[in-house]
A = this chain, B = another copy of it.
Amino acid sequence: MSFRTSIPETSRAAVAKQALTTEIQSFRIPEIGPDDGLLQVEASAVCGTDWEIYGRKSRGGGLGPLILGHENVGRIVALGERAAERWGVQVGDRVAVEEFLPCGTCRLCRDGNYRICEATDSRSAKPFLRYGSTPISIEPALFGGFSEYLYLHPRAILYPISQDLPAELATLFVPISNGIRWVVQEGGLQLGQTAVIMGPGQHGLGCVVAAREAGAGKIIVIGTAADRDRLDLAAALGADHIVIADEVNPVDVVRDLTEGRGGDVIVDLVPGVTSTVDDAVEMVAKRGHIVLAASKHGAAVSGFAHDTVVRKEARLMGVRGHDHRSVEPALAIIASGRYPLERMCTHSFALSDVDTALRMAGERTDPAAIHVSVLPSASASAPAPAPAAA
């Protein structure tokens, strides 16, 4: 048995087939059984990973044509009976959806590390499922948020959100939960310690919020002159010091601000640039932690100062994604209104403008852009709603 509101027979979605372009295609909406459900997508935000997949030359050699979009928020419009019980939700509820569709039974899942379960890892040699990177050849195709409807697979992980939380604001659960996990839960920031955030994009800003929430003694954010808008927002969110890396040597600044000790937790979020790792090693305190959270697009770090890492007894830790332990507090922080997070939601686009949205987030065609959303259920003829904030 399953419940559903009135829903159409097909869903329009933006399919990434060739590099750097999508095309709108219609997919048949599947029958919903006792264990699954269907989400009407309200907002699906653009992330760096989308841009990376979007730009790949050959779709055939990679994942195959697929629907991007993995920071998803929407309303449940169909729901199986067992799914309702398992997820604790009903038709009509609004939810945030993790990108992970873990198996739930492997060693990593049982360890509490479901986010890196092979069954949800797009780099796995075995079959996998993951929102935003599952090819449309996998039934029922609707595994990406740049689509009117998203299939809620039995393995999906949902979080109820209130009826009045703006959808774009809610999609911030991804950067903020990542920030919480990277800075605090993995990075191990202790109350009173100094956090250094390299790269003030949406994830860097999420890290600022996380560090502030966890009682950081000092938050230092490093960006470039081009990041001015983002750095202003970082300050508004609670950063104590802003460093423009084009103008000063950030290593020196961090040393000065920490009486020569260095930062306790350094988070490197700068995509494609490897010298930030070298800087992190220089600016970290004895026994400090360096969180590696960016993609360097496969580039090796050429000058990794091994002996400095040893001398300082520093730790470097690769991190990926979030989990329920970080998503739940992230959603509570968003709902609390304690931070001017609406200022992060700079742009949103209709489904027909997905390519513009992707380029804006990926190429930073507008320096003011921070968190860019696609609102797939908004009418294509109507302009996209204004940002959530007043």
Residues of A within 8 A of B (CB): 86, 103-105, 107-114, 116, 123, 157, 180, 184-186, 190-192, 210, 213-215, 217, 274, 277, 286-287, 292-320, 323-325, 328-329, 332
Contact = CB atoms under 8 A, between A and B. Distances in A.
Nearest to A184: B191
Given A301-B304, A307-B295, A287 B215 contact: no
Contact of A320 (B109, B274, B313, B325): B313
Contacts of A314: 317-318
Give the copy number.
4
21 contacts: A104-B104, A110-B324, A112-B112, A112-B113, A116-B312, A180-B191, A180-B192, A184-B215, A191-B213, A192-B325, A215-B329, A274-B306, A296-B306, A299-B306, A300-B304, A301-B301, A304-B304, A313-B317, A315-B316, A315-B318, A316-B317
A271 to B, nearest CB: 11
A109 B292 CA distance: 27
Contact of A313 (B116, B287, B300): B116
Contacts of A308: 318
Given A292-B310, A300-B304, A309-B318, A325 B287 contact: no
A104 B293 CA distance: 28
A292 B318 contact: no
Contacts of A277: 304, 306
Contacts of A213: 191, 215
Report the 8 A-B pairs with minimum CB-CB distance, sorted nearest first. A192-B329, A112-B112, A213-B215, A310-B318, A309-B318, A301-B304, A304-B304, A104-B104
Contacts of A191: 180, 184-185, 210, 213-214, 329
Nearest to A189: B191
Contacts of A112: 110-113
Given A191-B210, A325-B190, A123 B311 contact: yes
Contacts of A317: 313-316
A322 B388 CA distance: 44
Given A214-B215, A302-B300, A318 B311 contact: yes
| A116, A191, A311, A329 pick with most chain B CB within 10 angstroms | A191
A86 B110 contact: no
Contact of A108 (B192, B286, B323, B329): B286
Given A105-B86, A123-B311, A180-B191, A325 B111 contact: yes
Contacts of A329: 191-192, 215, 217
A10 B323 CA distance: 44
B310 A319 contact: yes
A172 B275 CA distance: 40
Given A192-B328, A328-B192, A307 B315 contact: no
A116 B320 contact: no
A297 to B, nearest CB: 8
Contact of A309 (B108, B292, B306, B310): B292
Nearest to A277: B306
A323 B110 contact: yes
A44 to B, nearest CB: 23
A174 to B, nearest CB: 16
Given A114-B110, A191-B180, A306-B277, A320 B316 contact: no
Contacts of A316: 309, 315-317
B306 A303 contact: no
A185 B113 CA distance: 17
Contacts of A311: 123, 318, 320
